[in-house]
Structure 1
Amino acid sequence: MEDFEKKVTISEPVSSSMEVEQEQEKTNSNASSPKSIVDLLRKFLAVQQRRAHAYARLKRGFEDYMASGGESAYQQLCSEITVEFNDCSKQVVEIESLFLSPDCCRDDLAHLLRSVQTREKDKLQLTATIQVLKKAGRPSERLVSHENCRFRPSTGHECVHIQNITEASGTEEAEADAQYDKDLKEAIKGVQEAVIAINEYLEEVRYEIAALEAE
């Protein structure tokens, strides 16, 4: 779980000019037609479905990791999820570029997709934060490592972690627990807010599709 946030991230994909031009050439002749716009919006919804499946895999993988401690399997999953999310982001950026092209001139839809991208990035970063916090556990409940302790035949195990519990140390531990609870609560709330915002944006996309198909 070390540097988890760095392992599962959404990078900002930058399509090469050649990639964008090739994609634009495919739809250049009728990019502004209702059908072409609907096709692009449906492609975008399909990308969002891929993201949903990726989150489901990440959630299951984390639960398995917490239960079994399979570090290598989970790290492999993190790498796969990173590739999946970055590919999804790249596709959305390409669609956004088409909406901004002179042949389409749908800046409103490009802005809508950009808003989704921003909230998706927030959601993933906060999801990583939640998993890091849950893996670490509340400070007062974390297990103590005895790797630096000593063992002597005469006295047996000599634990370097033993200390007198004072009012000060008890207060410090309580404060650490409170900060942990606060951080976890804020991260969970942030994910919920991101999900609500994304769903609202997706509803706008579906309304747009319905309106275009009604023309």
Structure 2
Amino acid sequence: MEESFKKVAIEEAMEVDIKENCSKSTKTLDLLRRFLGVQQRRAEAYAKLRRGFTEYMVSGVDSAYQQLCSEITIEFNDCSKQVLEMESFFLNPDFCRDDLAHLLRAIQAQEKQKLHLTVTIQVLKKAGRPSERLVSHENCRFKKSLEHECVHVHEITEASGTEEAEADAEYDSALKEAIRGVQDAVTNINEHLEEVRYEIEALEDQ
């Protein structure tokens, strides 16, 4: 009689464990799917930022571009906030999935780097190469409506030519480095996202 009670108790305990594991798996799956949704939002925000910057480079209308940058900043901050919440869920003893929390944190770090370098690229492109920057005639003295004494006219010496070439080389190097940095961040993010997708598949198969 006692043996049958023990058997029932063990079976009930196993049933509770199975239900808890199923519940954890379902919640983990939901969180990872939500995370992929956040990544999709980030991708759309980047596409919007690229379009807006291209339009700005053509039109030169600064106000519309600044407004877009503000909107994109809010969007990215909201995405980061959501991912941090998911990360804290995974660190919770109920989940005990430090591996997934670490994965999300790694993606967050790469996303931060990607955004920083994307902004750097846009700032550099906005300024333009030193030798190709437009001259402002605000401080020039106008004699007649079509003639003015330009303060920018100076004799091109070997030294100033070298200085300009060095400034261009520095600019090109900074731009290349930022572009390469974005590409590296994207590669790392995609690799981590593959891990997230594998985890989703494994949980779906359970």
Question: What interval of TM-score do these two structures reach, taking the shorter chain for normalisation?
Answer: 0.7 to 0.9
Q: Structure 1 unaligned runs (5+)?
A: 1-28
Partner Cα distance (1:127, 1:159) in 2: 36
Give the C-alpha shift of residue 156 in structure 1.
3.9
Aligned partners of 2:199 and 2:59: how far apart in 1?
A: 45
- Size of the aligned set, in residue pairs, is 186
Matched, 1:47 2:34: no
Matches within 5 A, 1:58-73: 58-73=49-64
Structure 2 residue corresponding to 1:136, chosen from 123, 127, 135: 127
What is the CA-CA distance between 1:206 and the residue it aligns to? Answer: 0.2
- Aligned pairs for 1:1-215 (under 5 A) are 33-153=24-144, 156-215=147-206
Q: What secondary structure does 2:148 align onto?
A: strand
> RMSD of the alignment, in Å?
1.5
Percent identity over the alignment? 74
User: Quick one: structure 1 residues 172 and 86, their matched pair in 2 at CA, closer, same or farther if it must change by over 3 Å?
Assistant: same
Dislocated runs of 4+, deviation >3 Å: 29-32
Cα distance change, pair 95–145 in 1 and its aligned pair in 2 (3 A): same
Larger helix percent: 2
Q: Distance in 2 between matches of 1:152 and 1:33?
A: 80
Q: Which amino acid aligns with 2:35?
A: F
Matching residue's letter, 2:153 = I
User: Residues 117-141 of structure 1: CA distance to partner in whole angstroms, max 9, x if unpaired?
Assistant: 0000000000000001111111001
Q: Distance in 1 between matches of 2:113 and 2:49?
A: 16
Higher normalized contact order (CA 8 Å, seq sep 6+, divided by chain length): 1
Q: What residue ranges of structure 2 are gaps of 5+ in the alignment? A: 1-19
TM-score (norm. length: structure 1) = 0.84
Q: Distance in 1 between matches of 2:161 and 2:31?
A: 58
Give the TM-score normalised by structure 2: 0.87
Could you say which residue in structure 2 is the equivalent of 1:19?
Answer: none
Alpha-carbon distance between aligned partners in 2 of 1:119 and 1:31, rounded to the nearest angstrom: 32
* Higher alpha-carbon deviation: 83-92 or 71-80: 71-80
